[in-house]
Amino acid sequence: MKRHIIATLIIGLVVGGLILTLHVNGWLVRPEQALTDLLSGEGTVRRLLAVVQYSIVFAAAIGTVSLTLSSTRRGRMSFIMAILLVELAGVAWVCSLYKLQFQPLPAMAAVVLGYLGALGFVRFEAYLEERRSRPPKIEAGPTPRPAPISVVPDKPAPLPVVAPQPVAAPVVEKPRARARRGDTFSDSGARICEVTAIVCDLANKHDLAEECEPAVFAEITERFIAHAIQALRAEGAYIESAGGEGVVAIFGFPEADKQHAEKATRKAMALTQSFAEANKGSKSDALRSAGVHAGVSSGSMIMAPLKNNGQRNMLAAGEPVELARRFCIANRFYGSRVLLGPRTFELASKILVARPIDFLSGVDVRERHEIYEPVALALNASREIITRRDAFWNGVVLYREKRWAEAYSQFQNARGPEGEEDRPLQLYLRRLEPLALQLTNTPLDQ
């Protein structure tokens, strides 16, 4: 509000000063005289004082700018401006009836220029907002793209090359009120931040709850929460909540950090391993078998301090936490440990070797988000890991195109060493085995 008042005064004074300069230098004499003769006619004996005339000009300019900036429907303001111009002409005609000459042209010009100046300010402000909220450009990652698909066995002709790009269904964006990153709302301290949210939880907590005594399950949960909080805080994360439904951490708050997605992804991958390693020497079989799942999502969130019964808390509201929780739960179905949302994958892709897994519905059922599983950090990825990732990526592309036999062949090429467990790969192979077998047994002449 304060910013608009200042803008109103500046634009109004500039417009009024411009018209005053044109009037003093005689640029408006001819059109002004013509309009005055048309409205006033003959017999006018007195002229309005110059001070009053110029005061009306400045008042018209500032009033027009203020009305335009405060309106939410600026496109319809042109109709109101037209009425105001007619009213100024009517005032000049009424003044002429009382033998008083009022020159309406400067005031009418102030209305028009004030309206155009306010619209220009709004467009310029929107342009600056768009520049500030534009995501940073992502450089090409060091990970090479998959090579062309090799010839499927028992096929006479080679397969076409499949580009290793995720076949992303169009994501339907919900219309949301745009707010500038870092804006504060009144004096509450609330602001919008670009962050990355992690939701991590025990991977098999429902099985543990059924198999273990309540005291044992509570001890395992307590150890997991303490381990996760310590590990995440060590990386500078803000712990939004921690309890029986998991730990929610936010990277990029309270201090802004351009690498929030990279740090969050790296820490989520490390956390799934560090908790297992910390419990290797435990005497409890349940604790040794306990794993960690994590979901990671990036985007804008509203952060605001709150007071609850005299205690200070922090409000963290936004889609990233909800999506991260969905991704965390989805690990149970796909057999993965960490799943990333599309925005996190885009921001952190240059440090990762990752593969597409599937599409999940968003908070709005009309939305679909492609989820990715990080396989390894780019610096630690061997040629074998990259080759297997490429084969898996090609398999997912072919699977979505319903080319079952070719997809099955690529997923076979994505297998690791004997005995290595790759549950997402096994899930796709189980889906494809009956389809590939059916195609194999189907006669070619049918």
* Position 22, amino acid: L
* pLDDT at res. 358: 93
Residue 329 has pLDDT above 70, yes or no: yes
The CA distance from 160 to 17, in Å, is 70
Residue 274 has pLDDT above 80, yes or no: yes
- List the beta bridge partners of residue 250: 197, 238
* pLDDT at res. 321: 93
Average pLDDT over residues 357-378: 86
Beta strands 368-377; 352-361: pairing state: antiparallel
Of 349 and 286, the structure prediction assigns the larger pLDDT to 349
* pLDDT at res. 281: 78
Q: How far apart are the first and last CA of the chain?
A: 73
Residue 43 has pLDDT above 70, yes or no: no
Both structure tokens of 284:
């409890």
Closest CA to 267 of 207, 180, 344, 155: 344
For residue range 224-255, what is the model confidence (pLDDT) as tens digits? Answer: 999 999 999 998 899 999 988 899 999 998 88
* pLDDT at res. 357: 94
* pLDDT at res. 181: 44
- List the beta bridge partners of residue 359: 370
What letters, b where the CB count within 10 A reaches 16 and e where it falls short, cover 240-268?
bebeeebbbbbbbbeeebeebbbbbbbbb
Of 337 and 49, the structure prediction assigns the larger pLDDT to 337
- Report the percent of the chain where pLDDT is more than 70: 75
Closest CA to 91 of 39, 46, 45, 165: 39
The CATH number assigned to the domain with range 184-379 reads 3.30.70.1230
Closest CA to 361 of 389, 403, 330: 330
327, 296 in Cβ contact below 8 A? yes
Residue 60 has pLDDT above 80, yes or no: yes
Biggest distance spanned by C-alpha atoms of the chain:
110
Residue 443 has pLDDT above 70, yes or no: no
Closest CA to 60 of 121, 105, 111: 111
Chain-wide mean pLDDT for the chain? 79
* pLDDT at res. 310: 61
The CA distance from 106 to 360, in Å, is 61
Query: 366 in helix, strand or coil?
Result: coil
Average pLDDT over residues 142-171: 42
Residue 282 has pLDDT above 70, yes or no: yes
